[in-house]
Amino acid sequence: MEILVGDYAGFCFGVDRAMEIAFEAGESKTDEVYTLGPLIHNPQAVGKLNKVGVGLAEDINDVEEGTIIIRSHGVAPEVIEKAEKKGLEVINATCPFVKKAQEKAKKLKEDGYQVLISGDKNHPEVAGILGFTNEQAIVIEDESDFSKVPNTDKIGVITQTTQSISHLQNLVNYLLPKVKDLKVHNTICTTTSQRQEEAAQLAEKVDLMIVLGGYNSANTNRLAEICCENGVNTHHVETAEELQTDWFTNIKKVGITAGASTPNWIIKEAVKRMEEINEEKNQVETTEGEEKTEELEQEENVTTAKDEEAVEETAEETQMEEEENFSATELNKGDVVKGTVSQISAQGVYVDVGAKTEGFVPADELTYSNSKPEEVVEEGEEIEVSVLNPEGEDGHAILSKKKVEQEQAWENIKEAKKNEEIIEAEVTKEVKGGLVVDVGLRGFVPASHVAIDYIEDLSQFVGETLKLKVIEAERENNNVVLSRKVLLEEEKEEKEEEILDSLEEDSVVEGTVTKLVDFGAFVDLGGIEGLLHISEISWGRIDHPEDVLEEGEEIEVKILGVDKDEKRISLGLKQIQPDPWEEFINEYEVGDVIEGNITKTVDFGAFMEVKPGVEGLIHISQLSHDHVETVEEVVTEGDEVEAKVININADDRKIGLSIKELESKPKSKNKSKTKKKDTKSQKPKKKKKEKEKGTKIGDLIGDELDELFD
């Protein structure tokens, strides 16, 4: 019976990291240690933690002193604040991928987006992300929740890291035609989708699928559903003890997958138990075969005394030949020995390992890469090899140079992961979901870890040597996962810190406009972006930043403020342009007559632009000598009028203007004979806009009507 274990079965990076942190805390801390909620959805793993002194607390209020471990699902910020206020030591084991989702949700909320979370509203990870939006986000589980989506122009989407990509796609398809400004952050952990895809593919190849993991683990239950959907007989179990012998009757191939919260030791125990079941089956078959053989031997006399003598003579001759040809260097399977390359061919290389003993290294055992033998070694070169088979078919020992390199590579990988070292590796090929690299053995870089931003075409990296960091190293599963993104983010953060330290308020720097939005423009200052708010772009009014700027344009800006903690930089463009107010002060004084456009009308008057970026107020009392009920009776927005400067307040940058000062003061009239004035006839003369022309009935008979009602 063949047993196939999925490459992505078992602990994901975040869970593995959380378990390591918890075990270390349990073994090293002298005070009480608790996890806030079950660290993972696996009772056996939780039990092991309990054995090293890590208890379980369902609520912060249940812990009065000691250490509290935040599980990989994460929690809301106020939970950590509450723990710290109680004087508890907090160890945050939140998965880095979950942290990213939390940070992006917080940023979307701060930028004014209505946040939607595609996920399970009852999942602790989703509850934590909600906390980063002040509980203002809306959780969308499936299409039945689409009705909860508010009618707004700005929506940002975050996904639960274990969410199905199809759920996210359905939500995005629904939002695209409805939302003007839509931001989608696919924060699904790549390992989740890879594990699900692999389970589906494995289910198609085997006769039976075993899904290992906690019964209350959502992602494990989903794996079982996927396997069943592919039509294969599937059993979901938590431990190897639950495996039943009769499940494996007439089974030739068994597939094993496991949820993200399933420890590797549970997978190993399950494999071992299946091997035992397989041996039991083989023993039964062997016993039956031996019984038949014995019956045949009893019927035939296959050996005579003469034959026995001949066999003995042949054995002696063979032993003598072996003694003559056998070298003083005895080789055993697994030995690592040094040898000298004596001959190179396309099939491999012959290696002299001493005392006239020669072994053969097949081409595919020379190195992990696809290099030709002559590209790997030279004749006369001394190399280290591992013995695969002390005596091959042609009498030569079968050796492997690759295995020695792999053993050393594993040691290097282990050290690199432990010390967070940077390693270099050549990209050998592009595969579904990422890149394969040569680190002395097969390494995998998920697509989401190739760069900070999504890259559609990964083939451009094939043949390149990349700097990477190890994020997963599972020797038992021969699984090495690396990340270039982590390194780039660290470098970016260092660069940002360096730039932040170098920036000084009021200094002028060069930058490139990277993005234009309604509220301003983002400017790259050489590795970190600053915000140029729309109000700081021009002294005058503008409707949108694109009226003044273009994406990709290089500009000079002034540093208005730097918040190093939040990594926020406020920029100004108008501050390095001539101040129109200073120009106005130098050009005009009280008593001057100015032409300008009415930019805005309010209850108490009208604002008039006297110079780009400078406005003055015409108070309602200064519009006309006659009583004015509403400003619009005299001027409206867009009118071009003349006004007299009656006041300049240099300190407050305020200008008082008057239209009525340019008109003749009307003569006083007999109160008893006062006629109603048509205030509209008092409108000032405009330079560009004219009131309606033509003669009206009121103009022809107005006086007669006035006399009738006197």
Kind of pairing, strands 479-483 and 465-474?
antiparallel
Instruction: Clarify whether 582 is annotated catalytic.
Output: no
Is 123 within any annotated ligand binding site? yes
Is 12 within any annotated ligand binding site? yes
Q: What 3 state SS string does 495-506 have?
A: HHHHHHHHCCCC
Kind of pairing, strands 465-474 and 423-431?
antiparallel
Q: Which helix (H) or strand (E) holds 225?
A: helix 218-229
Is 227 within any annotated ligand binding site? no
Tokens of 577: 């342009």
Question: CA 169, CA 182: separation in Å to the nearest integer?
Answer: 14
| 8-state DSSP, 121 | T
SS3 call for 23: helix
Question: CA 630, CA 632: separation in Å to the nearest integer?
Answer: 5
- The residue whose two tokens read 């203002």 is 136
Question: CA 114, CA 178: separation in Å to the nearest integer?
Answer: 14
| Contact call for residues 67 and 33 (beta carbons, < 8 A) | yes
Is 235 within any annotated ligand binding site? no
Q: DSSP characters for 71-110?
A: -TT---HHHHHHHHHTT-EEEE---HHHHHHHHHHHHHHH
**Terminal C-alpha separation, the chain:** 116
Tokens of 698: 């009121």
Is 664 within any annotated ligand binding site? no
> Catalytic: which of 2, 65, 78, 125?
125
Strands in 143-252 per DSSP E: 154-159, 181-185, 208-212, 233-237
Handedness of CA 40, 45, 48, 50 (dihedral sign): positive
| Contact call for residues 404 and 384 (beta carbons, < 8 A) | yes
- The residue whose two tokens read 């494996």 is 248
Question: CA 163, CA 185: separation in Å to the nearest integer?
Answer: 13
Among 257, 269, 161, 259, smallest CA distance to 217 is for 259
Is 50 within any annotated ligand binding site? no
Question: CA 187, CA 192: separation in Å to the nearest integer?
Answer: 11
Torsion-angle region of 562 (φ positive above 0: left; ψ -120 to 50: alpha; else: beta): beta
Question: CA 514, CA 521: separation in Å to the nearest integer?
Answer: 8
- The residue whose two tokens read 């992300």 is 129
Is 95 within any annotated ligand binding site? yes
b (16+ CB within 10 A) / e for 65-81: ebbbbbbbbbbbeebbe
Tokens of 185: 């952050």
**Surface-to-core class of residue 228, CB atoms within 10 Å of its CB (0-12 exposed, 13-18 middle, 19+ buried):** middle
What percent of the residues of the chain are helix, what percent strand, and what percent coil, each to the nearest 5? 35, 25, 35
Question: CA 105, CA 96: separation in Å to the nearest integer?
Answer: 14
- Dihedral angle over CA of 320, 322, 326, 330, nearest 10: -110
**Surface-to-core class of residue 657, CB atoms within 10 Å of its CB (0-12 exposed, 13-18 middle, 19+ buried):** buried
b (16+ CB within 10 A) / e for 351-390: bebeeebbbbbbbebbbbeeeebeebbeeeeebbbbbbeb
Instruction: Count Cβ atoms below 10 Å from residue 571 Cβ, excluding itself.
Output: 25
Question: CA 55, CA 47: separation in Å to the nearest integer?
Answer: 9
Q: Which residues are annotated as a binding site for isopentenyl diphosphate?
A: 41, 73, 123, 217, 219, 261
User: So which residues are the catalytic ones?
Assistant: 125
Question: Which residues fall in the annotated binding site?
Answer: 12, 41, 73, 95, 123, 161, 189, 217, 219, 261
